[in-house]
Amino acid sequence: MFTKIFEQDKRNLLVLFLVQIITGILPIALVYLMSLIIDIVSTSTSSTYLINIIILISCYTLLLFLDEVLSIVHTFFSSYFEEQINFKIKFLLLEKISSYPTLELQENPEYANIKSLLDHNSQQLGNYVSLISQLVKGIFTLIPAVITAVSIKWWIPVVLILTLFPICYAKIYFQKKLWYVKENFAKDFNKMSLYEDCLSSKEYAKDLKVFSMHTSIIKKWSDLYKNIISIVNKQRKEGIFYIFTLGIFGAIGVCVCFLYVTINTIKGKFSLGELTLLFGIIFQLRIVILDFIYGAGEIITVSLTLKPLLKILNAPVPNILNTKEINLSNNFIEILNVSFTYRETDRVVIDDLSLSIKKGTSLAIVGKNGSGKTTLIKLLCKLYTPQAGKIIWNNEDIRSMRFEDHFSRISTMFQDFAKFPLTARTNINARNQLIKDEELNALMKKIGLEEILHNKLEHYLSKNIDNGLDLSGGQWQKIAIARMVLDLNRNHTELTILDEPTSALDAVSEEQIMKIIKAILKVKTKIIISLRLFITRFVDRIIVMDGGKIVEDGNHQELMELNGAYSGMFEKQAEYYL
């Protein structure tokens, strides 16, 4: 992933590393110049010493200025790469989740937990280039410092490295431990995201205010946050204690080196300028080694953060089976002994169900809430994969079909249809086809949207956008119907699915939409799910579901004569209209 970003920006990356190489050398150069200035001031008796001092100070000033300029350049390029990495990560995540063919990534709690963990820790990934460039800078500070120190006494860098190594070990150990603590809280991070959405989203605002729910939800969010922070801080305090304790060894190492240089300066082995140089070298060595230590800890955090990211990006797509054509019957669709259970529950939602659908016929699926109606539709749409059984479409197992090809055969209006906070055009023309405004306007007039959306196809359907439109539930349902009708007419799809198509409509709108639905029923294979049973009188066949099974099957007249579950539901609803 990082390689792709770097390949696209080789020049900028090269500039950043070149800046860091120069910046890495500058501290030693500045210390060296300062030592020369001190030596000239303390020992020179020549009449030209003033000129030499002016030259050296000028060089020192220029290097300081160069250091400031390079620091600004480094900040610019580090921010640039941070934004590029964050953009790329977000792009890859959004692309993976949105293009994943089934509902696995959206509905699997494990992936939701991972995404929440990433949302709370993604900043580390953006700092990757900055961390690497800091290490490059450290290397080019370290090399001249080590060479200079070794030329004086070989053991000086060895002592510094050995005495600072325990800090390095402790830093890396506790950085890993801190990440694993956060990883264990992935579920809590996910819950916090849900609470944040409840507190800030328009979808929940009315009930939140009227029922005064905000206090209890904020408390739940706050309790989770405080619990996480208390354990994380406990881990941090433990890490700080060990690093502080082990830091004593590093301080002793520096002290030994300083004492050696100071005593030998007193003995006359080093000049004051050399004393300054050596103190600067030892100090720079210590800083660089500590930078390596903390940089290594941060890079380990980045590598640990990459693990959950890659788990999502590498989530396996369901295999396309290589099956031969199956000649079972002349039926358009055959559902054969299909069973399905949701991952997070043990309840069987679809239980060994078999169903045949003939081409050009209309089927209504009815039953109480939770009987498996919508799940059956999602299985038929290939949004779920059954754990047992198979679904045959035109004598072909749908598991052998490419997802895109299968989706293109179906026009749908789900009960929980999407209300995209995008333009009206995008909401209706979901497949982004080349369609003239005249055709869209004619469709909106037919559906009953002309009054609210006339000449407003580019308006966003969200009050959170300037000049955005706020639609009612019934108007949104008309948008969903328009989306389905346009797809049906333009793409000549093979199957139309309507899940509660009139649930949010008033009586006048319902009559208007029912005319459209009746027209669809005459020309296409279609499936209708509805709790409002007046629609079922217009279909060829009705099945009643209960507990994931088909308990009744027939047309309206046959099921009414059966005097079973269907007739009971129909008669109860009829009472409200008498």
Phi, psi of 499 (to 5 degrees): -105, 105
Q: How many C-beta neighbours within 10 Å does residue 407 have?
A: 16
Instruction: Report the alpha-carbon distance of residue 421 to residue 282 in Å, rounded.
Output: 60
Distance between CA atoms of 485 and 307, rounded to whole angstroms? 43
d(CA 567, CA 536): 12
Name residue, tokens 């020192």: 60
The upper half-sphere exposure of residue 377, i.e. CA atoms within 13 Å in the direction of its Cβ, equals: 26
From CA 541, how far away is CA 361, in angstroms rounded? 8
pLDDT (0 to 100) of residue 6: 59
H or E segment and range at residue 552: strand 549-554
Contact present, 236 and 178 (Cβ < 8 Å): yes
The pair of structure tokens assigned to 291 is: 């930078």
Could you tell me the two tokens for 107?
Answer: 């509905």
Integer angstrom CA distances of residue 293 from 161, 163, 201, 391: 11, 12, 43, 58
pLDDT at residue 153 in the model: 78
Phi/psi of residue 325, each to 5°? -65, 140
Predicted confidence at residue 521, as pLDDT, reads 65
CA–CA separation, 537 and 559 (whole Å): 11
What residues have CB less than 8 Å from 122, skipping those under 6 apart? 86, 89, 305
Q: How far is CA 212 from CA 123, 178, 205, 218, in A?
A: 35, 37, 10, 11
Cβ partners under 8 Å of residue 157, min gap 6: 145, 146, 149, 150, 285
Please check whether residue 30 is in contact with residue 22, taking contact to mean a CB–CB distance below 8 angstroms: no
CB 352 within 8 A of CB 387: no
pLDDT digit of tens for each residue in the chain (578 aa)? 556 555 667 788 888 889 988 988 888 888 888 888 888 888 766 667 788 888 889 999 999 999 899 988 888 888 888 888 878 888 888 888 888 888 877 777 777 777 777 776 666 677 777 788 888 888 888 888 888 778 777 888 888 888 888 887 887 788 788 888 878 888 888 888 888 888 888 778 877 887 788 888 999 999 998 998 888 888 888 888 888 888 888 888 889 888 988 998 898 888 888 888 888 888 888 888 877 777 777 777 777 777 788 888 888 877 776 655 555 456 689 999 999 998 777 788 999 999 999 888 889 999 888 889 989 999 999 999 899 999 999 888 998 888 888 888 888 888 888 888 889 999 999 888 888 888 898 888 888 888 888 888 899 988 878 888 888 888 888 898 888 888 888 777 888 888 887 776 777 777 777 777 777 766 668 888 877 777 888 888 999 999 999 999 999 999 999 999 999 988 887 776 55
User: Helix (H, G, I), strand (E, B), or coil: what is residue 542?
Assistant: strand
Residue 147 makes CB contacts below 8 A (sequence gap 6+) with none
Q: Where are the alpha helices (DSSP H) in 267-371?
A: 272-313
What is the sign, positive or negative, of the torsion defined by CA atoms of 11, 13, 14, 18? positive
Q: What contacts 533, CB < 8 A, 6 or more positions away?
A: 366, 566, 569, 570, 573
Q: Which is nearest to 220 in space by CA: 211, 228, 209, 231?
A: 228
Question: 535, 340 in Cβ contact below 8 A?
Answer: no
Backbone angles phi, psi at 185, to 5 degrees: -95, 15
Helix, strand, coil share (%) of the chain residues, nearest 5: 65, 10, 25
